[in-house]
Structure 1
Amino acid sequence: MKDYQNKSLEKALSILECFSRENRELSATEIAKMLGLNLSSIYPLLATLSRFEYITRKENGKYSLGISLVVKGNLVISSLNLIEVARGPLQDLAHEYQGNTHLAILNNYKALIVDRALASDKVFINSIIGYEIPLYCTSLGRALLSQMRDEEIMNYLSNEELRKFTPSTLTDPEKLLQEAKNARLRGYVVLDEEFTPGEVCFAAPVFDSQGKAIASVNLALSKLRKLQEYERYGLRIRQTAMQISSYLGYTGPVTG
């Protein structure tokens, strides 16, 4: 069996583990002593951790935990709260339509699936929790994309490889921008086999108490069901998104 452990990464993570309530600030010498490592091997790791702001070097020459850990920690906390309040509505929707529902957050211009409720026997890879999917060609992603400024959308599209996952995948930047604008006005998106063959998806953004789009939810249904009245499903997913948003303290108008 292959050993996939990365010794340098282990050492870097061990450095972070040295900090605690009792050890809020540590010198390089203290860290090296705690880990039983040579001081010369510690400096490159400290430099890398500092560059990514996982630690900060103080004026006294000592190190403390950095802002990146605060940001990542807050993301985890907010995601857990989001998952908790969204789970019930997602399960209700999945049961109502016998389809799969998902919750995603924006992560480095990808939609990261953080929860799901499955009612269908057919589960696609993009239903896996922890899976990252593109913004431009998925319902969860496009719902998030619709809440960005037009300039940000075009900047994203100009830097993203717009590949076709199916014959129906939309890859024209101008058309994608227009789709985002339409979704913004409508309050939901509809994607018909653009990412997964045989699947039509409806999605809508979720807002926090400040009115910021922090997530998206979707309903994925099989086209074998010969779906009609797409608007009905779109309005229903929008209703679910607004329900979750209200649980998070959103008091703004219903989008669309």
Structure 2
Amino acid sequence: MATVISSSTGLPLPAAVAKTDGPYQLHSLDRAVAVLEMLGESDTPLSLAEICQKMHLHKSTAHRSLMVLERSALIERTQENRFRLGLKLYELGNRAVEQIDLRARVHPFFRKLSSQVSETVHLSVLQKTKVVYLDKVEPNRRIWMGSKIGASNPVYCTAMGKAMLAFQPPEAIEEIISKIRFVRYTPKTLGSKEALLKSLERVRRRGYAIDDEEIEVGVRCVGAPIFNESRYPIAAVSISGPASRITAQSVPEIAEHLLRCCREISATIGLRDRKRSPVVSPFARHYGA
């Protein structure tokens, strides 16, 4: 294979960077990925000089990449001023495995739930101030939801977002809310921290959340969290449909099906095997704790 020369350094590019040459190449990002791959293959932490030598980079160029990775906790520096992979990668890897495994486990429950309520069912996880859609099952209806797997929406105006946020530790709730930029998508969108906190309190009392046409006029959703064995909300399920079908009168029955589904999913990932808490909380009642 021909050697690829860097236009910025005049030196050969590392194989991990060179092989990505194409219309979507971003040298700084490719270089950072190459650093991670190299540190992952090394049995010992590497010094700046060793990284420069192995990657054919000038010291200043390598140093910039390392500082970005270290600031993101993707790599860490030892006391001897050498670099190794950071624990952030372990956390991200665990999340990736958890999400893949979760989607596979949840899908059979999804199909059952969608057939029970004849509406669209979603699965999502919380990522900073947004919810990311991992899975979706649609009923055999003419009117269906136009959402896409992999898309995201703000946490404060989605049923799944509020369902997950409500059962976070108080300090996590405060941190997430502090980063939210409230934008009104419809006249019913929550527009302030105070309004969101009141909504989260209602979620904790009921055990489920409602998106009452808050992100799209004419669409109503009911969402509830999925808890892991530590009673932490790792994901959420929602039932979505036209407001003409998901009415105020039908929400309690829909929520009953949803909570039963979330209880069954939570049981498959270990919640059933945990010791019962002496404190009876709203989600404990809904999830049979």
Q: Which TM-score band applies after superposition, normalised by the shorter structure?
A: 0.7 to 0.9
- Tell me how far 1:7 sits from its aligned partner: 1.0
> Is residue 95 from structure 1 mapped to residue 118 from structure 2 by the alignment?
no
Q: Is the 8 A contact 2:129 2:179 kept in 1?
A: no
Which of residues 262, 265, 269 in structure 2 aligns to 1:241?
262
- Tell me how far 1:152 sits from its aligned partner: 5.3
Of all paired residues, the percent bearing the same amino acid is 28
- Tell me how far 1:22 sits from its aligned partner: 4.8
- Name the structure 2 match of 1:179: 199
Count of aligned pairs between the two proteins: 253
**Mean CA deviation greater in 43-52 or 33-42:** 33-42
Which of residues 134, 137, 144 in structure 2 aligns to 1:117?
137
- Name the structure 1 match of 2:220: 200
Q: Structure 1 CA distance, aligned partners of 2:195 and 2:101?
A: 35
| Larger relative contact order, structure 1 or 2 (CA cutoff 8 Å, min sep 6) | 1
Q: Is the 8 A contact 1:154 1:173 kept in 2?
A: no
Q: Tell me the secondary structure at the aligned position of residue 148 of structure 1.
A: coil
Deviations 1:179-198, CA, capped at 9 Å, x for gaps: 21121121112222111222
Q: Is the 8 A contact 2:117 2:254 kept in 1?
A: no
Q: For residues 201 and 56 of structure 1, do their structure 2 counterparts lie closer, same or farther at Cα, with a shift above 3 Å needed?
A: same
Structure 2 matches for 1:63-142, cutoff 5 A? 63-119=83-139, 122-124=144-146, 127-142=147-162
> Is residue 10 from structure 1 mapped to residue 30 from structure 2 by the alignment?
yes
Structure 2 matches for 1:21-60, cutoff 5 A? 21-60=41-80
- Name the structure 2 match of 1:231: 252
Q: Tell me the secondary structure at the aligned position of residue 136 of structure 1.
A: helix
Q: For residues 37 and 250 of structure 1, do their structure 2 counterparts lie closer, same or farther at Cα, with a shift above 3 Å needed?
A: same
Q: Is the 8 A contact 1:166 1:195 kept in 2?
A: yes
- Name the structure 1 match of 2:183: 163
Q: Structure 2 CA distance, aligned partners of 1:11 and 1:145?
A: 36
Q: Tell me the secondary structure at the aligned position of residue 218 of structure 1.
A: strand
Equivalent AA in structure 2 for residue 49 of structure 1? L
Query: Which of the pair has more CA radius of gyration?
Result: 2
Q: Is the 8 A contact 2:129 2:180 kept in 1?
A: no
**Mean CA deviation greater in 77-86 or 147-156:** 147-156
Equivalent AA in structure 1 for residue 226 of structure 2? V
Which of residues 144, 157, 164 in structure 2 aligns to 1:144?
164
Q: Structure 1 CA distance, aligned partners of 2:157 and 2:91?
A: 28
Q: Tell me the secondary structure at the aligned position of residue 221 of structure 2.
A: strand
CA RMSD, Structure 1 to Structure 2 (Å): 2.4
Which of residues 242, 248, 252 in structure 2 aligns to 1:222?
242
**With structure 1 as the length reference, what TM-score do the two structures score?**
0.88
- Tell me how far 1:140 sits from its aligned partner: 0.7
Q: Is the 8 A contact 1:204 1:216 kept in 2?
A: yes
Q: Structure 1 CA distance, aligned partners of 2:127 and 2:174?
A: 18
- Name the structure 1 match of 2:14: none
